[in-house]
Amino acid sequence: MDAVSWEYWSELGSGFVDAILLLATGDPETWTIIRQSLVISITASVASVILGVPIGAWVAVSSFPGRNLLIAAFNTGFGLPPVVVGLILSILLLRHGPLGGLNLRFTPPAMMVAQFILCLPIVINLTAVAVQQLNPKLRLQMRALGASRSQLMWLLGREIRLPLLGAYMAAFGAVVHEVGASQMVGGNLPGLTRVLTTAIVMETGMGHYDRAMAYGIVLLVLVGVVAGLLTWVQQRDAYR
């Protein structure tokens, strides 16, 4: 190993140790960024579930002209480029734009809205697929058993709780590591709109690899927690 290579690996190693120390010692800036990331992404993904699950269920069981077109639109939304969402939202939120009066640009709510738009089609699609996979006669059977409309919704929702959890995890996973829209509508303001992904981009650009790695580790842990939780629930419910 030559000198340059040794120096490179040495710096990287010390950067990794510094990253662990930043997390372990409760560095305020690091933890503010983690907190903001979680608040913004959880709010956006929960909101997408609240709106997306009923829409997905409705699309799955309804029959109306243009239904397939609507499903195609949601499918397109599945692959919505974050930078395009960021661009459109930025334009709308410009001071003289249609939504300029809301004064949301470079605020956490603007980031929540951007992330909400990104994960809503995911939740709608995965919910619709889950509902369509239910045996259609199950609805008849539940009605025949005397289930009211709300009881029916609850029972069927309970039957697809695993795919619904999967839909939530997919939505959260999609937005927590998203960077384009967050950067464009949030602006990476410290303590306010700086989140893990925008901070990694910035710190890497500035050569602060220790901080960038600390944020990267947190992101990986989040992804690992999501995957682990999903696996645990799947295995627990496998024979139910």
Partner 1 sequence: MTPTLLRAEGLSARRGDRTVLEWCNLSVEPGDRIAIYGPNGAGKSTLLQALAGLLPIASGIVSFRGRALGQEVSYLEFHRRTAAMFQESLLLRGTVRHNVELGLKLRGMAGPERAARVQPWLDRLHISHLANRLVGSLSGGEAQRTSLARALVLEPEVFFLDEPFAALDAPTRARLAQELAEILDGRQIATLFVTHDIDEAAEMCSRCLVLDAGRVLQQDSMETVLERPTSRRVAEIIGMPNVFEGRVVESGPGGTWLDWSGHRIHTNAEARVGVRVAFLIRQERIRLQTTATEMTNHIRGRVDDGRRRGKSRFVSVGIGNRHRIEVRSDLSDRPSSGEEIIVLFPPDAVWVFPEQGGSLTCAA
Binding site for partner 1 (CB under 8 A): 135, 137-138, 140-141, 143-148, 151, 155, 158-159, 237, 239-240
| Residue 18 or 159 having the CB closest to partner 1 | 159
| Residue 10 or 151 having the CB closest to partner 1 | 151
Nearest-CA neighbor of 115 among 33, 185, 200?
A: 185
Q: Which structure tokens are listed for 155? A: 């029972």
Q: Between 209-237 and 3-24, two packed helices, what is the crossing angle to 10 degrees?
A: 60
Smallest separation, CB 185 to partner 1 (Å): 41
Number of helices and strands in the chain (H, E): 11, 0
| Residue 75 or 151 having the CB closest to partner 1 | 151
* Distance of alpha carbon 168 from alpha carbon 152, whole angstroms: 22
Smallest separation, CB 233 to partner 1 (Å): 12
Burial class (CB in 10 A: 0-12, 13-18, 19+), 186: buried
| Residue 95 or 240 having the CB closest to partner 1 | 240
Smallest separation, CB 237 to partner 1 (Å): 7
Smallest separation, CB 167 to partner 1 (Å): 18
Query: Are 230 and 169 a contacting pair, CB within 8 Å?
Result: yes
